[in-house]
Structure formats: structure tokens, C-alpha cells
Amino acid sequence: MLRKNRLFTPGPTPLLPAAQTAMASFTAHHRTADFRALFQRVLVDMKEFIGTKNDVLVLACSGTGVMEASVSNLTSPGDKVLVLTAGKFGERWTGLAKAFGCNVDVLSAPYGETFSLTDIRARLTPDVRAVFVQATESSTGARHDVEGIAKIVGAQQDTLLVVDAITGLGTTHLDVDGWGVDVIIGGSQKALMMPPGLGYCAVSERAWQRMEKTSSPRYYFDLRKERKSAAKGETAYTPATSLFAALGAALEFIRGMGNGNLAQGRETLVNNAELCAEMTRAGAKALGLKLYASSPAAALTAISSPDGIDSGKIVKEFREAFDAVVANGQGEMKGKLFRIAHIGYYDYLDTIGILAALEHVLARTTARTADYGAAVKAAQEVYARSLTEKRQLVGV
């Protein structure tokens, strides 16, 4: 049968056609009125997409670049920081903070789990300069309680909260300003439905003030320099111009999802991810599969491989039979789980389709007798219930 290549990976994610066309036809030089107009519109719209009044910066780098910028701009060598880690992306915070000479206290939860707020409270002493965490840990599919963590960090006078929401933004309801998140970080290749290449962040006034006093080395990623340029409608260095054109189109699409209101569009996009995730969880459970994460995120569903089966076989079968790209586990989790994303441009048919494919994939990779229709039926029931509950669906 004909096969269409489809990404179900937690980044990069499927591309919005309007974003692709916008970037293909964009040729403006970055020091022109045309680009300035696009740039300024995008920065204003990004505040609505993130849900913040704080200044937003968009940089030419992958998400990790902005993670690094948050460490280099907010800390000095020797500063005590607390890293909350429960997976490969949490471990990235540890590596980054160590690379910049921080005195790193690591509070870890086992893969698949999330943190106990009591443990965080016990570890958070007044001398901790910053806390680093993920909103959703893409390697395990876990959702962390950003609101609960923010409450604990907010009780400290001088501790900043930095949240890697690279897969959290656009898939999770986050009240950035209300909860007091000092730096929130995203990337273009996730819920914004664009290719990789842009990293972005929103920075609180407290965090801007901290940057004036810190001494870690920074040059390209000096956020103060970018903020000054942004105030004049420019970037400090050559921006990824065509990606800005794509971003403009993606934000228009999200505004359309909210009937002209971008903040509403963001909520709708999050609800869409939640519904895709709920359908997928129900489908997986109906096939007797176990979810890997105890507090699953809407960004992706990590499914444990059935006993004795290497998840690599499942990933390979999805690819060979259906040209569907799902993600294997990372690092020590390789072979133990597979991950199906719901970030950004996924709809009902994508979700039903991947679950129907999963029924075939399991029948071919395990000794189980095929249970055709079981996952699809469970997902259909979730979907039908969402209609009677009048939960918002994306209809563009």
C-alpha cells in the first residue's frame, strides 16, 4: 500500500503547510523596514502564544542554545543552583550548569516519575540562585507540576525559576506570569509546527536584573544585547529570516484556531494535544500496554515495550510498514519504550491512524494474537465523550 511519511516524534514535528510556503518565498534582508515589521509583529504575538507580558527573545539556535543562555546569563561560577531531573533533558541542565562552573545540587526522580514537592521544599535553601526544570520531560513523557514548583521557589527571595517548556509550550496550560516563572524556554520544531532553528524565551524583570550582576562568560548568547536590539526592531546578529516568516505564519494559524484571538488559539492548541494524548493513552491501555510515565504529559505518550520485546523492533515496524516515525527511548531507556508525540499539528485522523497502525505493529512484533479495533475503539470513545462534553476541538 502507498505510504506517506509522517513524524510522530517529540521534535521535529509535522510542518504547517502555511509556514513552509511562507519561508520558501521570503527573501527580505534583515536590516529593512519589511523585516522589522515582521520581527516586531512576531515578538508581540509570541507574548500571546507564551501567555506572558515579559520580554520575549527569539534566537537563531536550537532549544538547547536558549537553555545554555539561561545558565550563562543568570549565574556566576560557584553559584549554587538546584537542578530537578527525571530524564535525559533534566540531565542536560546538570551538564550545562556544570559547564559554567555552578555548584550544582541535583534532585532526581527515577525515569518515568516526577518530583515530590516535599523533597523540593527540603532542598531549596535561600542560597540557591536558580532552579532549573522541565515542564514536560520528553524522554519519559512525564509532566512536572510547574505550578507547585513555582509556589515553592516563589517563597524564596533570591531564587529564579527557569523552565524548559520546549515541549511544554502549546501542549500544557501554563500561567507563566501568574505562577512567577522567571525564564520559560521554547523551540520552533515543537508546538509551533516549524522546522528546527529558532529557540525562544520570555524573561522576567527579576531575571533581567540578575543578568547585570552575573559573571559567567557569554557573547553570542548575551541576552541583554538581544533585548537592546529588539527594542529597536532588530536582532544583534543575522536572524534566521526565513524562519521568522514561517513563525509569522504559524502564529497566524494559531490565531485562526482562536477565531482571531491568539491567546484563545493557544488554549485550543493545548486542548487539542490533550485530547490526542487522552485518545492515545486509552488506545494503548486497551491493547494491554503500560504507560511509561506516572504523570503523563499531553506533549507525548511514552509506552513501555511489552515484556521481552525490544522497542526498537516496534519503532522499525512502524517505519517499514507505515512510514510512521515514532521515537525509541533515549540513553538507558533505549529498547524499553516508544514515544508518540501530540505536539502541534496533529488531528483526529493522525491519532486514530497511528493507533490503528499500532494494532498491526504489535501483532507483527509480538506473539500476541491480533486485537484489531481495540485501541481504535477506546480512542473513539474518548473522542465521542469529548464531543458531548463540548470540549474544544481544533477546527480549521
Ligand X SMILES: *Cc1c(COP(=O)(O)O)cnc(C)c1O
CA angle 170, 174, 177 (to 5 degrees): 125
Which H helix or E strand runs over 84? strand 80-85
- Report, in Å, the least distance between residue 189 CB and ligand X: 6
Quick count: other Cβ atoms within 10 Å of Cβ 355?
Answer: 24
What minimum distance in Å lies between the beta carbon of 10 and ligand X? Answer: 6
Residue 187 within binding range of ligand X, rule CB under 6 A: yes
- Which is nearer to ligand X, 11 or 239 (by Cβ)? 11
Task: Give me 194's grid cell.
Answer: 516549524
Give the Å distances, CA to CA, from 110 to 107, 130, 333. Answer: 10, 22, 12
Residue 140 binds ligand X (CB under 6 A): no
Query: Does residue 166 interact with ligand X by CB under 6 A?
Result: yes
CB of 150 to ligand X, least distance (A): 17
Binder among 6, 54, 56, 63 for ligand X (CB under 6 A): 63
Which of left, alpha, beta for 30 (phi over 0: left; psi -120 to 50: alpha)? Answer: alpha
Does residue 167 belong to the site contacting ligand X (CB under 6 A)? yes
Smaller CB distance to ligand X: residue 95 or 233?
95
Examine residue 221 and tell whether it contacts ligand X (CB under 6 A).
no
Q: What is the footprint of ligand X within residues 317-336 (CB under 6 A)?
A: none
Evaluated on CA atoms 40, 42, 43, 45, the torsion sign reads: positive
Helix, strand, coil percent content, the chain, rounded in steps of 5 = 45, 15, 40
Considering the complex, what minimum distance in angstroms separates the CB of residue 385 from ligand X?
Answer: 29
Nearer to ligand X, 134 or 272 (CB): 134
Does residue 64 belong to the site contacting ligand X (CB under 6 A)?
yes
Among 45, 55, 164, 359, binds ligand X (CB under 6 A): 164
For cell 516549524, name the residue. 194
> Smaller CB distance to ligand X: residue 167 or 328?
167
Q: Which stretch binds ligand X (CB under 6 A): 56-64, 78-86, 206-214, 379-387?
A: 56-64
CA distance linking residue 95 with residue 324, whole number of Å: 32
For residue 60, give the nearest of 188, 248, 180, 227 by alpha carbon.
188
Nearer residue to ligand X within complex by CB, 132 or 383: 132
Cis before 110? omega within 30: no
What track of x and - describes contact with ligand X for positions 10 through 49 (by CB under 6 A)?
xx--------------------------------------
Question: Residue 244 and residue 56: Cα distance in Å, rounded?
Answer: 14
Cα–Cα distance, 225 to 129 (Å, whole number)? 22
Which segment (47-55, 58-66, 230-238, 257-265) binds ligand X by CB under 6 A? Answer: 58-66
Cβ nearer to ligand X, comparing 11 with 248: 11
Cβ 198 to ligand X shortest distance, Å: 10
Q: How far is the CB of 171 from ligand X (least distance, A)?
A: 10
Using CB under 6 A, which residues numbered 106 to 135 contact ligand X?
Answer: 134
Q: 89 or 383, CB closer to ligand X?
A: 89
For ligand X, the closer CB: 198 or 236: 198
State which residue, 19 or 286, has the beta carbon closest to ligand X: 19
Residue 93 touching ligand X (CB under 6 A):
no
Give the three-class secondary structure for 129.
coil
State the nearest-atom distance from the C-beta of 13 to ligand X, in Å: 10
| DSSP assignment letter at 372 | T
Residue closer to ligand X, measured from CB, 142 or 379? 142
Q: How many residues bind ligand X (CB under 6 A)?
A: 12
| C-alpha count within 13 angstroms, C-beta hemisphere, residue 168 | 27
Cβ neighbours around 161 below 10 Å, total: 25
Contacts of 155 (CB under 8 A, 6+ apart): none
Nearer to ligand X, 11 or 170 (CB): 11
Cβ 301 to ligand X, closest distance in Å?
Answer: 14
Sequence-distant (≥ 6) Cβ neighbours of residue 343 within 8 angstroms = 10, 11, 13, 167, 170, 171, 190, 191, 273, 299, 300
Q: Which residues bind ligand X (CB under 6 A)?
A: 10-11, 62-64, 89, 134, 138, 164, 166-167, 187
